[in-house]
Every structure is written in structure tokens, then in C-alpha cells.
């Protein structure tokens, strides 16, 4: 049997990883400034993380959500404290798309409405509702396209109000910082007005923090830079450092009804052991502040150049927009300088390093970039 061929692959086979470094099957070492697409938060194979999962699997690896699982309660407690949302509740699932799916469903249950407003250049995942609110016609099948979704431009508050004021919009969904769309940061004034408008018309505000959350931008969630509190916050990626896990934080205004949400694997013992150890390591190693400091260093050190248009982002969620296609430079960074980076569109290099990236490791990237440009 062959694999269903949907991924474009680099010719690299990682077999080992530690911290911000990865080794391939030929023993070549790479610096990881991409974290497997923003997933590696506390660093590859952190010893505390490895120990937590190993010990857990030797005790119990799985049972269903029909029995008590104190690890879920421990995660909820720790997450409430770490994120500044102790009064919200937690629903656990398995991925970013599933988190958005659950958030949209909950908003629709709560309001009794079926329309959603999303933004141009958004990415929210590939499952039914999540892909319908994603601004990329290439990945929306006719089956997905029947959802009732309107797209507005980021920062265009008038067009959002026009949509929402009709009174039939269940939710507005927006990324804390747009990731796949090119590291686009919404204006603070726009986010404050968006919060007010949603409240005024009884529309739920969903913040997709799957990529921008969990400390990546130097605050626990990117929306905390704007000083707003959404109705639902969605999470994935860094939450368990690579063990599949997702979740949503739900404001106290929502009432849980038995059976309204559910999943087989969500909140399983291994994901919980992984997610709890991630929060412990983040706290012990002060990784949210490290992301901010190293990100600030990178922003200031990336060289000015005729071919670089702009460096955007916050903390370790950075986009370097070039005036030309970035494919070649990304490929040379990988094959000549042995540095993993990501991309948005055709001209933005995207950096999503593990939150433990050191200044010395960031310097290695800056030097490599200088040599290449």
C-alpha cells in the first residue's frame, strides 16, 4: 500500500531531536525554527516531558470519557491559572480543527443561530466547519461550502458590524495573529471594537489561538496583547508539545448540557500527562518570557536588506516578508545552513521556533540569513 500523496516533502528524515535541534538519519544536525509547524513548545524530547508520558503509559494509557480522570481536572486547574482564565471551563479534544469545530458548534447551540463571520487570509483547519471559515477556496469542497459564512477584511470593523447587526450571526471567529495567512496582527482598536460589537448583537467571539497561543507571542494568548476576553478560546499545537491534543476555553456564560460535545480520545491520559508536563516546564523555565525576549532579539537583529520588505510578528511568531519569492532562500536555509523554517504564501518566511529558543541559537539563524541574502 502507498501513502495518499497529499504532502509536499523535503528530502530530510528526522530520527532524533532535543531542545531546538533535530538530527536526520545521516547524523546531520539541524536548528529547528519551525517547531514542526508551531507544535514544539517546550523543546523536543524535554526530559521531564519524556518521563511524564513514559510513566503514564506504564500505569494506564487509555480509558474513555465515561469515568473520572483526575488528570483532566489537574490540567484545567493549571491552565486556568497559567492563562489568566480560572473562571472559564475546559473542553478537551484532539486537534486545532476539532477545537474550532467545537467552538463553532457551541456558539451555534448557545445562540440558536447558524451564520458565522470569518476573515480574509484566515486559516482555521480542514474539518467541515473549520475549513468553511478558512479563506482558501482550494481546500473547501462542495460539501464544506454549504456552511453560512461571510468573510470580512481584517481591521474592517464597519463590514463586520454590517454582517453582525442583522442579528443572525452565531459567532465571529478570528486568529490572535493570522499565521498561515502571513503573520498579520489585527489592530488593537479593531479588536476592542470587535469585542463590543459582538456583545452588542449577542454574537459569540471565538479567538483561534491554535497557532498564536500557549505562550508563543510572549503572553499566554495573543489576544491578551489587546486586553479583551473572548467568549471561546481555541487551542491545539503547543498544548502537549507534539502529543495530539486540543481544547477550548469556555466563558461562564455557557451552560453545559450532557452530551452536547464529546470525543473518544479527547482528554486521554497520555495527552493529559503531556499537557500537564508542558505547563510545568513552561513555568519552571519561564518560557513565555523567553519567547518574548528571543523574539524581540530576532526582530532587531534580522538585517535590513533591499530584498526584505518587513519583519512582522510578536514573540516567536515571526514573519519575514521578502520582495521576492522565498522558496529558494528557505530551501538553502534547510539544505546549506541546516535550519528549518516555514513559509506563508510565496514571499513570507515564517518562524515558529520552540519557546525555549536561546539567543545563541537565534544568532545562528541571523548569521545564516545574512550570508544568504
Summarize as ranges the residues that interact with ligand PLP (CB under 6 A): 95-97, 100, 123-125, 175, 179-180, 208, 210-211, 236
* Sheet containing 29-32, strands listed edge to edge, beginning at the edge strand earlier in sequence: 14-18, 21-24, 29-32, 339-340
Q: Which is nearer to ligand PLP, 110 or 124 (CB)?
A: 124
Sign of the C-alpha dihedral computed for residues 135, 223, 215 and 255 taken in this order: negative
Q: Please name the helix (run of DSSP H) or strand (run of DSSP E) that holds residue 72, with its range, or none.
A: helix 70-83
Q: Residue 127's closest CA among 157, 102, 92?
A: 102
Partnered with residue 247 across adjacent β-strands are: 92, 235
Distance CA 14, CA 25 (A): 6
Distance CA 88, CA 85 (A): 5
Task: Decide if 292 contacts 222 (C-beta within 8 A).
Answer: no
Q: Which is nearer to ligand PLP, 132 or 368 (CB)?
A: 132
To ligand PLP, the closest distance from the beta carbon of 122 in angstroms equals 8
Q: Strands (DSSP E) along the chain, which ranges?
A: 14-18, 21-24, 29-32, 89-93, 115-119, 148-152, 169-175, 204-208, 232-235, 246-250, 308-314, 317-322, 339-340, 342-344, 348-351
Q: Which is nearer to ligand PLP, 122 or 203 (CB)?
A: 122
> For the chain, how many residues are written?
373
Q: Which is nearer to ligand PLP, 180 or 198 (CB)?
A: 180
Q: Which is nearer to ligand PLP, 236 or 266 (CB)?
A: 236
To ligand PLP, the closest distance from the beta carbon of 100 in angstroms equals 6
Distance CA 86, CA 71 (A): 17
To ligand PLP, the closest distance from the beta carbon of 26 in angstroms equals 29
Nearest-CB residue for ligand PLP: 96
Q: Which is nearer to ligand PLP, 121 or 337 (CB)?
A: 121
User: Residue 118 phi/psi, 5° resolution?
Assistant: -130, -175
How many CA atoms lie within 13 Å of 316's alpha carbon, on the beta-carbon side?
35
Q: Which is nearer to ligand PLP, 135 or 196 (CB)?
A: 135
Q: Which is nearer to ligand PLP, 72 or 100 (CB)?
A: 100
To ligand PLP, the closest distance from the beta carbon of 98 in angstroms equals 7
Amino acid at each position: 500500500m502507498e501513502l495518499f500523496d497529499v504532502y509536499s516533502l523535503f528530502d530530510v528524515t528526522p530520527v532524533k531531536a532535543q531542545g531546538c535541534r533535530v538530527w536526520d538519519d545521516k547524523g546531520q544536525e539541524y536548528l529547528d525554527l519551525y517547531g514542526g509547524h508551531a507544535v514544539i513548545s517546550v523543546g523536543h524530547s524535554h526530559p521531564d516531558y519524556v518521563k511524564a508520558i513514559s510513566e503514564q503509559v506504564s500505569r494506564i494509557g487509555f480509558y474513555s470519557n465515561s469515568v473520572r480522570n483526575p488528570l483532566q481536572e489537574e490540567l484545567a486547574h493549571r491552565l486556568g491559572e497559567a492563562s489568566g482564565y480560572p473562571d472559564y471551563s475546559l473542553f478537551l479534544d484532539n486537534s486545532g480543527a476539532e477545537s474550532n469545530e467545537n467552538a463553532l458548534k457551541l456558539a451555534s447551540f448557545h445562540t440558536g443561530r447558524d451564520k458565522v463571520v470569518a476573515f480574509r487570509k484566515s486559516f482555521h483547519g480542514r474539518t467541515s466547519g473549520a475549513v468553511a471559515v478558512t479563506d482558501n477556496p482550494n481546500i473547501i469542497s462542495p460539501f464544506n461550502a454549504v456552511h453560512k459564512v461571510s468573510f470580512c477584511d481584517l481591521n474592517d470593523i464597519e463590514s463586520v458590524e454590517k454582517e453582525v447587526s442583522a442579528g443572525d450571526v452565531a459567532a465571529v471567529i478570528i486568529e490572535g495573529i493570522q499565521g498561515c495567512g502571513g503573520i498579520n496582527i489585527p489592530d488593537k482598536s479593531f479588536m476592542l471594537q470587535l469585542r463590543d460589537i459582538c456583545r452588542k448583537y449577542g454574537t459569540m467571539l471565538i479567538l483561534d489561538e491554535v497557532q498564536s497561543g500557549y505562550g508563543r507571542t510572549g503572553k499566554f494568548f495573543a489576544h491578551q496583547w489587546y486586553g479583551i476576553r473572548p467568549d471561546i478560546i481555541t487551542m491545539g499545537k503547543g498544548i502537549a508539545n507534539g502529543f495530539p491534543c486540543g481544547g477550548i476555553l469556555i466563558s461562564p456564560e455557557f451552560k453545559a448540557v450532557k452530551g452536547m460535545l464529546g470525543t473518544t480520545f479527547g482528554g486521554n491520559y497520555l495527552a493529559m500527562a503531556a499537557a500537564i508536563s508542558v505547563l510545568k516546564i513552561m513555568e519552571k523555565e519561564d518560557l513565555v518570557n523567553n519567547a518574548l525576549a528571543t523574539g524581540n532579539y530576532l526582530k532587531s537583529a534580522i538585517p535590513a536588506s533591499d530584498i526584505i520588505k518587513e519583519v512582522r510578528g510578536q514573540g516567536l511568531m515571526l514573519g519575514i516578508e521578502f520582495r521576492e519569492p522565498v522558496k529558494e532562500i528557505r530551501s538553502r536555509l534547510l539544505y546549506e545552513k541546516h535550519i528549518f523554517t516555514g513559509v506563508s504564501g510565496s514571499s513570507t518566511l515564517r518562524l515558529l521556533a520552540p519557546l525555549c529558543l536561546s539567543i545563541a541559537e537565534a544568532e545562528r539563524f541571523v548569521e545564516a540569513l545574512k550570508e544568504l541574502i
